[in-house]
Chain A
Amino acid sequence: MKDHLGRPLVAVTGIGLVTPLAWGREATWAAIVSGTSGISRIRRFPVDKLRTTIAGTVELPEEAAGGAIVPSPIRVERMAAAAVEEALAQAALGEGGAFPGPLMVGMPPVEYEWPQRFELARQANGDGGYAAATKVATGRRDLYETFLFGGVGERLAARFGTRGAPIALTTACATGASAIQMAVEAIQRGEADAAIALGADGSVQPEAVIRFSLLSALTARNDDPEGASRPFEKTRDGFVMSEGAAALVLESLEHAQARGATVLGIVSGCGERADSFHRTRSNPDGHAIIGAMRNAIDDAGLTPADIGYVNAHGTSTPENDKMETLGMRAVFGDAPPPISSNKSMLGHTLSAAGAIEAALSLLTIRDQVLPPTINHREPDPAITLDVVPNVARKVSGVRHVLSNSFGFGGQNVCLVVSAAP
């Protein structure tokens, strides 16, 4: 019931997933195992003049039926709620709006978007100035509560009846992993017997696409959406923005067993290390990502040889995949375990990625199937790793998976998920 440091073991008893491939855990996993891409042309808004016109998107049912496009915080909240519902149902814990622990919400920063700015300017008789917008917006509680950073967490906490203040957090592309780490720490320190950790992102809107594009981070392989995300492949040239959500129900193993819950796995280790090198690039020596990987393995009380598979950060940018390879060789030496990138199929779900990939890592252990890295056509001689190219692989005996998340701003978080003891 305790780990090698005397802390309570933290079990996963519920998993919920929403991705461009499907609303739901098993449907997403089946598509992942079959190597299906969730990337398509952006249909949500006009893409004329954009350098990148493809993304992974999750439409809400009312949008699919022709309704108005919702802003990011509403998309995040809806996907998150669906993922949490699914996770709670599987865990059979805290349903009916009374969850016995805190809520950790990994999400992107949110702000007024262009439809809100245009609407306020119209109300101000065509004056798009901030002073005029402020005047007509005064008293708009709907805008205020939608776009406050605390709004999404507040509404989710109220809906699911979680305890204490919900904590919303961002560590860029490591956000989902950070949310899980926060929940694990809360259980380890005895703050609660259970917690919900989720990561969600719904940022495919014009300004966000343009901003990532201006940083030269996105691929512009617009003619081949499904083949555009190609982590670790020689011709990779940027990531594909995407959306989704994952939620985990976490509880102390003792709590889970006492109530007879099915234990899906253990979050056995969390490691982090920040980088001080550059706002968007890792230090060329890789010490921060190496440190995060080693810290996670140490925290789990394991050695690198115990890790049977690595769920890559694997964004498909030239830089990340090169650095991740360097990190793999530094940590695992001459015989690194297989590594594959879910982002080859899902694209980069940003704040959700760490949570989605931790969820898929647990399913990897459950079914003993390594998901593929699709679009692997031309190997990169500099990537000396087994990336499980193109086709999922049946395995046996994989008990421990390392899931990597490396963020802009140098925020790196790695998790080790393990089979139920």
Chain B
Amino acid sequence: MTKQDVVITGIGLVSSLGEGPDAHWSVLSQPGATPVVDETAFAPYPVHPLPALTLDSQIPKKGDQRQMEPWQRLGTYAAGLAIDQAGARGLVSDMHLIVAAGGGERDVAVDEAMATAYCAVPAEEAGRALNEMLATELRPTLFLAQLSNLLAGNISIVHGVTGSSRTFMGEEAAAADAVRIAAARLAEGRGGIALVGGAYASQRWDLVLLYGAGHALWRGPFAPVSARDGTGGFVGGALGAFLVLETAEHAAARGATPLARLAGVATDAMHARAGTSAATAAALWQKLGAPAGGLGVLSGMTGVAEARGEEDAFLAGLDAAAVRRTGSLLGHGVEASFPANVALGALALSRGGFFPAMDPADAGDGPVERILVTGFGQWRGEALALLERVA
């Protein structure tokens, strides 16, 4: 089977810095960009907040908006931006979809009231109260706003994407495999066009609770990724990131202009981080088989110290022309970060440039011919994507 080239023809990007390719390019292509940070709402955990969105522009029906909470709205919105940039509205019925999803929102007020009221009550009695209260307090539609696969479901409903629909779960690694498999399916001839990505709504206590439990979140005043001492941690960043992928032939046949070529995606997952991740990533890099020169790296480094140490070791052996830690400006968006960095890579290649330093540890200013996206995540998984200029 001959592998077909896969290109990126649309990116949908929303972050605390704004939305769309122009907004991100204008902020990130100038030196001295500063992050948008809220240090109080979830103190001691800073977050990069969601920008104001004109939801009606991508989710025209109020009924659809009401059926979602911020996470699904953000993802559905970003997916629409990608479809628009690709000029692919007419192709959605045969467009394949892979979403990397986390869990949906909870009703925080109900959770807090119930936990306070019944935590000290004997289990049988608490159970009875729970049954009664949940049945009356929970909105029926919240379940649908909460189900992980319903981000994909909403993208199908709102944008009409119905070629196929899959939802991967598993934090950062799920997103990298979503991109890998979406591209592999196109390359082997399973369809001509696909939509892949994820979203992260950073302003959620339930996520702070989950990730905070693992010491995965940075506590205290904002600091760039490389400067987070101790066990480190990530600063959650509101992030919606979707990519329209096509076979080069499919894009050419309809006159679409590719932003970049997705030359390869490689993933693995070691069962222990320390001492193994760097070598694993180096093996993935060999597998991608790119020439070493002119390499710009967009690192998905989270700030979690163990993963950061391994990634630093990997990067030290890479001889890259330039390394940029996007997490210091965008924050970390878990399932959205890998596709967001692929989107930023495609953006840079399409504009014929690269980004100035984003983090004090970012080095190199050499000319960039191809871009490597890294994804070591917060806990498990090693992932790389290689982007090249369209010939």
- Please report A residues at the B interface, Cβ cutoff 8 Å: 6-7, 45-51, 107, 109-112, 114, 117-122, 126-131, 133-134, 137-141, 143-145, 147-150, 153-154, 157-158, 164-172, 178, 182, 185, 189, 191, 206-207, 210-215, 272-280, 288, 407-411
Given A109-B103, A128-B114, A275-B156, does the pair A408, B171 have CB atoms closer than 8 Å? no
Q: Which residues of B have CB within 8 Å of A147?
A: 210
User: Which of these, B115, B135, B173, contacts A49 with CB under 8 Å?
Assistant: B135
User: How many Å lie between the Cα of A118 and that of B111 in the bound state?
Assistant: 10
User: How many Å lie between the Cα of A140 and that of B103 in the bound state?
Assistant: 19
Q: Which residues of B have CB within 8 Å of A274?
A: 97, 152, 156, 161-165
CB of B128 closer than 8 Å to a CB of A: yes
A165 touches B215 (CB 8 A): no
Q: Which residues of A have CB within 8 Å of B97?
A: 274
Q: Which residues of A have CB within 8 Å of B188?
A: 189
User: Which of these, A118, A133, A149, A172, contacts B170 with CB under 8 Å?
Assistant: A149
Q: Which residues of A have CB within 8 Å of B147?
A: 109, 172, 408-409
User: How many Å lie between the Cα of A368 and that of B45 in the bound state?
Assistant: 60
Sample of 26 A–B contacts (CB below 8 Å):
A49-B128, A49-B131, A111-B206, A114-B126, A120-B115, A144-B214, A144-B215, A144-B216, A148-B171, A148-B379, A149-B169, A149-B170, A150-B171, A154-B379, A166-B269, A170-B148, A171-B149, A189-B1, A273-B164, A274-B152, A274-B161, A274-B164, A276-B157, A278-B157, A288-B162, A411-B149
- Please report B residues at the A interface, Cβ cutoff 8 Å: 1, 45, 67, 97, 101-104, 106, 108, 111-120, 124, 126-128, 130-132, 134-135, 138, 140, 142-144, 146-150, 152-154, 156-157, 160-171, 173-174, 176-177, 181, 184-185, 188, 190, 205-206, 208-216, 267-269, 271, 379-381, 383
A411 touches B119 (CB 8 A): no
User: How many Å lie between the Cα of A369 and that of B131 in the bound state?
Assistant: 42
B115 touches A133 (CB 8 A): yes
A150 touches B173 (CB 8 A): yes
A149 touches B162 (CB 8 A): no
User: How many Å lie between the Cα of A202 and that of B97 in the bound state?
Assistant: 27
User: How many Å lie between the Cα of A157 and that of B272 in the bound state?
Assistant: 12
Q: Which residues of B have CB within 8 Å of A120?
A: 115
Nearest B residue (CB) for A141: B214
A48 touches B157 (CB 8 A): no
Q: For the complex formed, measure the closest distance between the CB of A127 and the CB atoms of chain B, giving whole angstroms.
A: 7
Nearest B residue (CB) for A161: B271
User: How many Å lie between the Cα of A167 and that of B149 in the bound state?
Assistant: 15
User: How many Å lie between the Cα of A7 and that of B188 in the bound state?
Assistant: 11
Q: Which residues of A have CB within 8 Å of B138?
A: 210-211, 214
Q: For the complex formed, measure the closest distance between the CB of B156 and the CB atoms of chain A, giving whole angstroms.
A: 5
A128 touches B131 (CB 8 A): no
B171 touches A167 (CB 8 A): no
User: How many Å lie between the Cα of A202 and that of B167 in the bound state?
Assistant: 19
Given A126-B116, A164-B269, A274-B97, does the pair A144, B103 have CB atoms closer than 8 Å? no
Given A172-B147, A210-B135, A214-B140, does the pair A150, B156 have CB atoms closer than 8 Å? no
User: Which of these, B134, B148, B215, contacts A210 with CB under 8 Å?
Assistant: B134
User: Which of these, B132, B157, B170, B212, contacts A168 with CB under 8 Å?
Assistant: B170
B148 touches A138 (CB 8 A): no
User: How many Å lie between the Cα of A388 and that of B384 in the bound state?
Assistant: 51
User: How many Å lie between the Cα of A166 and that of B173 in the bound state?
Assistant: 9
Q: Which residues of A have CB within 8 Å of B114?
A: 114, 117, 128
User: How many Å lie between the Cα of A159 and that of B28 in the bound state?
Assistant: 43
B379 touches A169 (CB 8 A): no
Given A148-B171, A170-B167, does the pair A130, B209 have CB atoms closer than 8 Å? yes
User: How many Å lie between the Cα of A167 and that of B182 in the bound state?
Assistant: 13
| Among A6, A148, A153, A154: residue with most chain B CB under 10 A | A148
B149 touches A129 (CB 8 A): no
Q: For the complex formed, measure the closest distance between the CB of B153 and the CB atoms of chain A, giving whole angstroms.
A: 3
User: How many Å lie between the Cα of A297 and that of B269 in the bound state?
Assistant: 35
A46 touches B131 (CB 8 A): yes
B380 touches A206 (CB 8 A): no
Q: For the complex formed, measure the closest distance between the CB of A111 and the CB atoms of chain B, giving whole angstroms.
A: 5
A128 touches B112 (CB 8 A): yes
User: How many Å lie between the Cα of A47 and that of B138 in the bound state?
Assistant: 17
Q: Which residues of A have CB within 8 Å of B67?
A: 279
User: How many Å lie between the Cα of A386 and that of B144 in the bound state?
Assistant: 34
User: Which of these, A47, A107, A119, A157, contacts B131 with CB under 8 Å?
Assistant: A47
User: How many Å lie between the Cα of A134 and that of B208 in the bound state?
Assistant: 7
A46 touches B124 (CB 8 A): yes
B169 touches A118 (CB 8 A): no
| Among A45, A129, A170: residue with most chain B CB under 10 A | A170
Q: Which residues of B have CB within 8 Å of A51?
A: 135
User: How many Å lie between the Cα of A47 and that of B127 in the bound state?
Assistant: 8
A139 touches B213 (CB 8 A): yes
A164 touches B267 (CB 8 A): yes
B103 touches A149 (CB 8 A): yes
User: Which of these, B45, B119, B185, contacts A122 with CB under 8 Å?
Assistant: B119
User: How many Å lie between the Cα of A131 and that of B42 in the bound state?
Assistant: 8
B205 touches A411 (CB 8 A): no
Q: Which residues of B have CB within 8 Å of A139?
A: 213, 215
